[in-house]
Amino acid sequence: METLRTIFDPDFLLRYAVYTNLLVGLGCPLVGVFLVLRRLIFMGVALPQISSTGVAVALSLPLWLGWGHGAHQGEREHAFAIIGSVVASVLAILVLAFLERRHRGLSEGRLGTAYAVATAISILLLSKNAIAELGWLDLLKGEIIAISGVDLTATLATFCLVLATLWIFHKEMLLVSFDRTMAVTLRKTSSSGTWCCIC
């Protein structure tokens, strides 16, 4: 009990890491259960890799555009990494949902191809950049021990957004996950299950 009290003490050095781990540990299973129900387990593997590719592209853009290194380069790289990650993930979900709706190949094949292509692009971008090994690998791996208060706030906001989405659309998501035929009949999804892919 004393150890638990020490961990949650405001003076504890790794308190932001502990709080972020708790939020991630509570949020990921809530979303993951719908991926398992829809047999989209590979989505949980492909999306993080696609997100990492978005980070690599976003960090490479300033070098391609010839922007110099400023005094606040660390904060700028961090902001670029988050923006690149979000944009790449959203685009990937939209493209995968579009292909699902058009019945283009198997779902597992699309996710496997997306994973392989994203991995290859990340490796190529990092291998061609001399700055990459100095600090970008930490951004790609994710150092939750060194998380800041701003990142904790962003994680909390994302967790609240996920909870709100699951609460608002819980009936539709359960219907689509357990009885897709009924969901198509009630026009909650298309016959290809595009709603499920987006969820």
Is 122 or 128 the better-scoring residue by pLDDT?
122
Neighbour count for residue 134 (Cβ, 10 Å):
9
Contact call for residues 147 and 22 (beta carbons, < 8 A): no
**Both tokens assigned to 8:** 């949650």
Average pLDDT, stretch 14-42?
A: 82
Residue with tokens 């150092």: 143
Neighbour count for residue 30 (Cβ, 10 Å):
13
Q: What pLDDT, on a 0 to 100 scale, did the predictor assign at position 91?
A: 92
Residue with tokens 């290809």: 192
Residue with tokens 């492909």: 46
Q: What pLDDT, on a 0 to 100 scale, did the predictor assign at position 141?
A: 61
Least confident of 12-26, 103-117, 121-135, 179-193: 179-193
Contact call for residues 40 and 197 (beta carbons, < 8 A): yes
Tell me the per-residue pLDDT of 127-183, one tens digit each, with 9 for 90 and over.
766 665 555 665 566 566 667 788 888 889 989 999 999 899 888 887 877 776 776
Give the end-to-end CA distance of the chain in Å, rounded to a whole number.
39
Distance CA 91, CA 82 (A): 14
Q: What are the residue ranges spanned by the domains of the chain?
A: 2-198
